[in-house]
Amino acid sequence: MGVEMNEASLRLDECVLRFMDQLELLEEKRERLNSLIEQGWFSMSKARYSMGNKQVSALQYGNEIEPRVRVNVRTLPNGETEFDTERVELLKSEDSEKDLKRVEDIGPKEEGVRRRGVTKEEVAKEQPPPQTLISKETIPPSRGVPQQQDPLKWFGILVPQSLKLAQVSFKKVVELSAEVATLQSTVLATRADLQALMADKRAAAALQEKTPPGLMDRPADSQTDTGLLNARQADDNIPPSDS
């Protein structure tokens, strides 16, 4: 068996073992992903049970949907692709705080002690014209970044704990799915390596078959021949014995 063939076999074995390890890891992560998804559904079903059948459905999705998680994709030199999730934090800038305060100011219109026994006409006179209030409410948020809302709020302000748990489960699923995607890419890259190595080994085997067996062993034999020759020469140089 040739040296090239041996090396090709060793590299192939190493690659197969790596491939098996990756497949095992992929299966493990898949199982975790599937169980987390199931957990999420279970929590969602519980929330649906307590909130009502139609309260957790596609009808409640918001009008403006902004992603709160993004994936950073990197292609490595060996052909693998790496996926990393990056969670976008909710805006906590000064602008958003101001907005929150303004909303609170507008909310309770009748602050302080209510005066009773006053006619409606008098109240209307004292109140500021409604246009100013409307203009305050309709001021578009003067920010470059769009306002982000927690998707949990689509389903109400006071949502049950189970819906929050469902959200936590699905957040984990999103992170895990990026890991699974990376592993899938790794598996496919290793598979390509394996195919290349297998082709190498076949080529080496074909070369060995084509070469006549005697030709392959020639160097080793010639070495032995020269060895024998040297031995003979050495014998010749031995001074004759006393006889």
Partner 1 sequence: MAGRGKLIAVIGDEDTCTGFLLGGVGELNKNRKPNFLVVEKDTSITEIEETFKSFLTRDDIGIILINQFIAEMIRHAIDAHMQSIPAVLEIPSKEHPYDASKDSILRRAKGMFSAEDFR
Which residues of the shown chain bind partner 1 in the complex (CB under 8 A)?
A: 19, 23, 26-27, 30, 33-34, 37-38, 40-41, 44, 56-58, 61, 63-73, 75, 79-81, 83, 86-88, 151-152, 163, 166-167, 169-171, 173-174, 177-178, 180-181, 184-185, 187-188, 191, 194-195, 198
HSE, side-chain direction, 13 A CA sphere, residue 26? 15
Around Cβ 156, how many Cβ atoms within 10 Å?
13
The answer for residues whose C-beta is within 8 angstroms of residue 162's C-beta and 6 or more apart is 43, 44, 46, 47, 50
| CB closer to partner 1 out of 5 and 37 | 37
Q: How far is the CB of 155 from partner 1 (least distance, A)?
A: 8
Backbone torsion region of residue 69, taken as left when φ is above 0, otherwise alpha when ψ lies between -120 and 50, otherwise beta? beta
| CB closer to partner 1 out of 73 and 100 | 73
Helix (H, G, I), strand (E, B) or coil at 88: coil
Helix (H, G, I), strand (E, B) or coil at 142: coil
> CA-to-CA distance for 222 and 220, rounded, in angstroms?
6
Q: How far is the CB of 223 from partner 1 (least distance, A)?
A: 35
Q: Which of 141, 97, 158, 118 is nearest to 110 (CA)?
A: 118
| CB closer to partner 1 out of 14 and 38 | 38
Q: How far is the CB of 41 from partner 1 (least distance, A)?
A: 6
Helix (H, G, I), strand (E, B) or coil at 188: helix
Q: Which of 213, 204, 236 is nearest to 5 (CA)?
A: 204
| CB closer to partner 1 out of 3 and 58 | 58
Q: How far is the CB of 50 from partner 1 (least distance, A)?
A: 16
| CB closer to partner 1 out of 69 and 123 | 69
Q: How far is the CB of 184 from partner 1 (least distance, A)?
A: 5
| CB closer to partner 1 out of 6 and 135 | 6
| CB closer to partner 1 out of 86 and 97 | 86
Q: How far is the CB of 103 from partner 1 (least distance, A)?
A: 23
Q: How far is the CB of 98 from partner 1 (least distance, A)?
A: 22
Backbone torsion region of residue 73, taken as left when φ is above 0, otherwise alpha when ψ lies between -120 and 50, otherwise beta? beta
Residues of 183-217 as b/e, b for ≥16 C-beta within 10 angstroms?
A: bbbbbebbeebbeebeebbeebbeeeeeeeeeeee
